[in-house]
C-alpha cells in the first residue's frame, strides 16, 4: 500500500485531520514558551494522549460520516 492509497481512504484522512487538530492545540502552547524549563516540564504524556484521541475521534467521525453519505 502506498501513501497515496492511504490518503484516499476517508477514515485515514479523518484520523490525520484529528491528529493535526490536536497538534494545533499543542502548537499554541509551544509558541508561548519562554524557556527550556517550560519545554522540559511540559506534560508530553498528556500531549501524546491528546494526539491519539484526536486521531481516533477523527477516524470515527469520518467513518460515521462516510456511512451517512454512502
- pLDDT score recorded for residue 20: 92
Query: Buried b / exposed e across 48-61, counting CB within 10 Å, b at 16+?
Result: eebbeebbebbbeb
Give pTM, 2 decimals: 0.71
Q: Across all residues in the chain, what is the average pLDDT?
A: 84
CA distance linking residue 56 with residue 45, whole number of Å: 17
pLDDT at 70: 55
Q: Which residue has the cell 517550560?
A: 38
User: Which residue numbers in the chain have pLDDT < 70?
Assistant: 1, 65-70
Q: What is the DSSP letter of 57?
A: H
What is the per-residue pLDDT for 55?
93
Residue 37: which residues within 8 A CB-CB, separation 6 or more? none
Amino acid at each position: 500500500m502506498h501513501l497515496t492509497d492511504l490518503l484516499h481512504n476517508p477514515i485515514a484522512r479523518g484520523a490525520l485531520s484529528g491528529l493535526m487538530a490536536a497538534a494545533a492545540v499543542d502548537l499554541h502552547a509551544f509558541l508561548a514558551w519562554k524557556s527550556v524549563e517550560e519545554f522540559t516540564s511540559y506534560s508530553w504524556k498528556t500531549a501524546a494522549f491528546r494526539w491519539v484521541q484526536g486521531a481516533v475521534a477523527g477516524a470515527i467521525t469520518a467513518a460515521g460520516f462516510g456511512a451517512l453519505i454512502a
